[in-house]
């Protein structure tokens, strides 16, 4: 039986749209409700307690939209506060586990790199998951905190001097380490993928957490009989700040038109 309830997706800001893009690719008939916490971005520099609080609020908001599944399209939440989804009435999916599986499968020299926010890297979530699957793997991690504000500002053109120079500095230790696989451990980072790929070179496989997660969500919905069969899916976007800015950036990231009526600003603290 078809289930037309939407998939709920949340992130600290724009980055989770990279997951939405992949969900639309692998699940073209699914309705999607997205919440971007643009008023409190970034999450990656916040304390564990604050990240947990924000995650719970975001999940509660999506549950009010009668979603059938929630995706924490945020590397920080998935690394630090995934437990907040343990007792939800709907399936909860993070982005760490599936990207790690993809990285372990892809690596040939067992040298895996991870880039993420400070909170993600300090949590050690990716490294622990990698070591569980591949005990002899060498893991090299670096936090890239400036990537999130760069993406939120829209400075991700391949020739943008700020983005290119920042990426070069962050990625140099990983190049020196000789990693052949790199997990982009924040959903904002695939926006910078052309720049990251150019710096790392053709021999390094980049792991997009959004794609790995979308593939898993497609399998999960099919397994649970929750797929939607409607041919005209709807997409709704909610933000906590910068309504107009979000819409123009979202259109650019999703490569599709978003009507003004599809985006609504909400006060997440009052819900």
Catalytic positions, please?
74, 186
Q: Distances in Å between the alpha carbon of 110 and those of 131, 138, 179, 203?
A: 11, 6, 8, 13
Which of 80, 14, 1 has the alpha carbon at shortest distance from 42? 14
Q: Is 181:113 a contact under the CB 8 Å cutoff?
A: yes
| Residues 198 and 158 sit within 8 Å (Cβ to Cβ) | yes
In total, the chain counts a number of residues equal to 271
Burial label, 107 (beta-carbon count in 10 A; 0-12, 13-18, 19+)? buried
């Amino acid at each position: 039986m078809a289930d037309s309830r939407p998939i709920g997706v949340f992130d600290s800001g724009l980055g989770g749209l990279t997951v939405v893009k992949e969900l639309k690719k692998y699940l073209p008939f699914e309705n999607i409700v997205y919440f971007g916490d643009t008023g409190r971005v970034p999450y990656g520099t916040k304390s564990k307690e604050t990240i947990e609080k924000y995650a719970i609020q975001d999940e509660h908001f999506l549950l009010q939209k009668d979603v059938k599944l929630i995706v924490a399209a945020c590397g920080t939440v998935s690394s630090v506060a995934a437990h907040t989804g343990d007792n939800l009435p709907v399936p909860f999916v993070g982005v760490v586990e599936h990207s790690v599986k993809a990285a372990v499968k892809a690596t040939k020299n067992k040298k895996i790199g991870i880039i993420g926010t400070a909170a993600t890297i300090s949590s050690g979530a990716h490294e622990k998951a990698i070591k569980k699957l591949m005990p002899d793997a060498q893991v090299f991690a670096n936090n890239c905190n400036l990537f999130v504000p760069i993406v939120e500002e829209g400075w991700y053109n391949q020739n943008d001097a700020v983005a290119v120079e920042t990426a070069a500095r962050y990625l140099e230790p990983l190049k020196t380490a000789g990693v052949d696989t790199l997990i982009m451990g924040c959903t904002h980072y695939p926006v910078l993928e052309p720049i990251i790929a150019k710096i790392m070179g053709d021999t390094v496989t980049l792991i997009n957490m959004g794609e790995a997660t979308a593939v898993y969500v497609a399998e999960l919905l099919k397994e649970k009989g929750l797929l939607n069969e409607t041919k005209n899916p709807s997409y709704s976007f909610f933000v906590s700040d910068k309504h107009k800015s979000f819409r123009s950036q979202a259109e650019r990231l999703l490569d599709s038109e978003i009507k003004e009526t599809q985006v609504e600003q909400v006060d997440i603290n009052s819900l």
